[in-house]
Amino acid sequence: MSSQDRPLGVTPPISTSLPTDAEHAVNESLLEELKRQNTFESPAETAKREKVLEQLQLICNEFVRRVAREREAGSEALIKEARGRIFTYGSFRLGVYGPGSDIDALVVAPKYVTRDDYFKLFPGLLQEIPPTGAITDLAVVSDAFVPIIKFDFLGISIDLIFSRIASLKQLPKDKDWNLKDSNILRGLDEAELRSLNGTRVTDEIISLVPEPSTFRLALRAIKLWAQRRAVYANIMGFPGGVAWAMLVARVCQLYPKATSSVVVNKFFHIMRRWPWPQPVLLKAVESGPLQVRVWNPKLYKGDQFHLMPIITPAYPSMCATYNITKSAMTVIQRELQRGCEITDSVMMSKQPWSDLFVKHAFFTSDYKHYISVITTSTTKEAHKIWSGYVESKVRVLVQGLEQHPSIALAHAFNKGYDRRHKCSSEQEINQVQEGSLDYLLKAGDSSAGDPAEGNKSPRRPADGEHPEITPEATETIVFTTTHYIGLELVEGAKSLDLSYQVDSFKQLCGQWEKFNSNLNYLSVQHVRNVKLPDDVFEPCETRPQKKSATNG
Ligand code: 3AT
Ligand code: MN
Ligand code: MN
């Protein structure tokens, strides 16, 4: 258990006052609201997660034993004792997972086990050891930035990554053994370092908060708020789960005895007034023991460009928010301001917590002008790769738009919209590529076989081949993903010629080595609020209306 007396953080606490009765009461109502909002899963579902993790541990041991038998033949004692270890990270490890959360886990193995062994043997063991049908949707992504095996285990999605420990021939049996000691990083390559990083960061965050249960409830509230307000998305230039967790952890350090409700209220005030670009740190940044780059704006010019640096506590410390754009920062500041106002009034019991979690108005009233970035592909496989790449570059377009003299703010919505279209001619495909929704397949529309699966052979074109459109075989399923960027114009803005920004963005994406002009397409369009498609609105929402001339 964490010590109540040891001060945590890079400064002393702001207040060590104990909560008042009123604060306890508001805390109770926060817990009730989070339950009502379905952020907790049932004990039975959590028990299932534990069972899945036990199974994974057994598979992990068997995996290491098999490699040991092959590579350490003769060392009977070593083979007999050979074992691996499953660690978790992400929302499960932080204790803030909900009904839909995955389990992010890491396989740790002794020095003689390689990443190649992991990708060669582990998928087979997943098919072999658990009962038939327990593992579904297995996908192996060995060439990713963080190489990963993804699958569903009894319906729970699992992200499983791997690292060995180069200094250990045998992993300790001790249940309390962990990855905290930075010396375990010695001798590892970049991918292995990154794989160990997730668990090391989450473990450090928890060990650096004065009261983990207070932290967890407050973080659940902040995560829900950030998701509802669409300011949760690392890839779109907003903080992701780890960054929001670190901000909440910092506030917990500053108010070590406070309730979660007070932490949430103080979170908005402290973060609203944070003197960016001064970094948010949970502890002093360590510079060793390895020769690995650590976040340091005095040493690295690139680190000076981080607008809202939030620094991970585990060595080697990194900036979790290097993605944040100028516009995203403005949007975050506005949302923090809104959070200040609402939670101040909630703390005085003048407003309910539910007001904090009201959905954003990105499409309904925030903007008049939108830019839509439409990626199109004619096969499902090609679309996954292409849309993923373009998504990771939308921030670059945002940064370009921010430079435009007529644009005050370019706000990228935090998620893209996936759509499927049924086209019966080359011309219709072209229209879809340019943003037409005339051939949209509604969810559940099965008139084209199983549209989720895309074009079935023989109509599905081979890789690199253009889908053949003949009078007999007339249906092509076209896949699109659209990202919306809301624009705020400067006062008195006249022209809105974005061709320079748009062309440079298209050029950047088109230069990607995996871009296939036969299968992939990219279009960028200007959309007025009154022309936004139906599916970005909930049934209960009011669409933006064209102002009638008489209303002026
Ligand atoms: P959920 O409860 O699962 O929604 P989470 O915080 O666990 O929330 P994720 O499972 O998406 O979120 O991510 C867990 C961690 O995995 C967070 C981050 O350290 C790492 N991670 C996720 N996506 C990426 C990515 N694209 N690149 C690098 N690291 C990633
Ligand atoms: Mn997760
Ligand atoms: Mn995950």
Tens of pLDDT, residues 17-34? 999 999 999 999 999 999
Q: Report the separation in Å between the CA atom of 321 and the middle of ligand 1, taken as the mean of its atom positions.
A: 14
Token reading at 302: 């690139």
Q: Look at residue 547 and tell me if it is in a domain.
A: no
**Same domain for 255 and 273:** yes
Q: Look at residue 139 and tell me if it is in a domain.
A: yes
Rounded CA gap, 486 and 200, in Å? 37
Q: How many CA atoms lie within 13 A of 69 on its CB side?
A: 7
- Which pLDDT value is given to residue 451? 45
Q: Catalytic site residue 322?
A: no
Q: Of the candidates 357, 384, 400, which is a domain's last residue?
A: 357
The string of DSSP letters for 202-231 reads HHHHHHTSS-HHHHHHHHHHHHHHHHHTT-
Q: Look at residue 104 and tell me if it is in a domain.
A: yes
Rounded CA gap, 240 and 233, in Å? 5
Q: Look at residue 545 and tell me if it is in a domain.
A: no
ipTM score assigned to the predicted complex: 0.96
**Same domain for 430 and 333:** no
**Same domain for 113 and 54:** yes
Peptide bond preceding 19 in cis form (omega within 30 of 0): no
- Which pLDDT value is given to residue 456? 46
Helix (H, G, I), strand (E, B) or coil at 123: helix
Q: Which atom of ligand 1 is nearest to the CA of 198?
A: 19
| CATH number of domain containing 404 | 3.30.70.590
- pTM as predicted: 0.92
Report whether residue 148 contacts ligand 1, using a CB cutoff of 6 Å. no
Quick one: which of 263, 261, 470 has its CA closest to 348? Answer: 261
pLDDT band at 356 (very low <50, low <70, confident <90, very high): very high
| CATH number of domain containing 219 | 1.10.1410.10
Q: Look at residue 500 and tell me if it is in a domain.
A: yes
What residues form DSSP beta bridges with 104? 89, 159
Calculate ∠ Cα 483-272-98, nearest 5°.
55
Number of other residues whose CB lies within 10 A of the CB of residue 503? 12
Q: Look at residue 4 and tell me if it is in a domain.
A: no
Spell out the residues 6+ positions from residue 147 whose beta carbon is closer than 8 angstroms to its own: 115, 119, 141, 161, 162, 191, 195
User: How many structural domains does the chain have?
Assistant: 3
Amino acid at 488: E
**Same domain for 526 and 412:** yes
Q: Look at residue 15 and tell me if it is in a domain.
A: no
What's the distance, CA 148 to chain centroid? Answer: 15
Rounded CA gap, 239 and 329, in Å? 10
**Same domain for 525 and 386:** yes
Q: Catalytic site residue 104?
A: yes
Spell out the residues 6+ positions from residue 247 whose beta carbon is closer than 8 angstroms to its own: 222, 239, 267, 271, 280, 310
Q: Look at residue 25 and tell me if it is in a domain.
A: yes
Number of other residues whose CB lies within 10 A of the CB of residue 439? 19
Q: pLDDT tens digit string along 149-203?
A: 999 999 999 999 999 999 999 999 999 999 999 999 999 999 999 999 999 999 9
Q: Which domain holds residue 95?
A: 43-202
| CATH number of domain containing 148 | 3.30.460.10
Ligand 1 pocket: which of 45, 145, 146 to mutate (most atoms within 8 A of CB) = 146
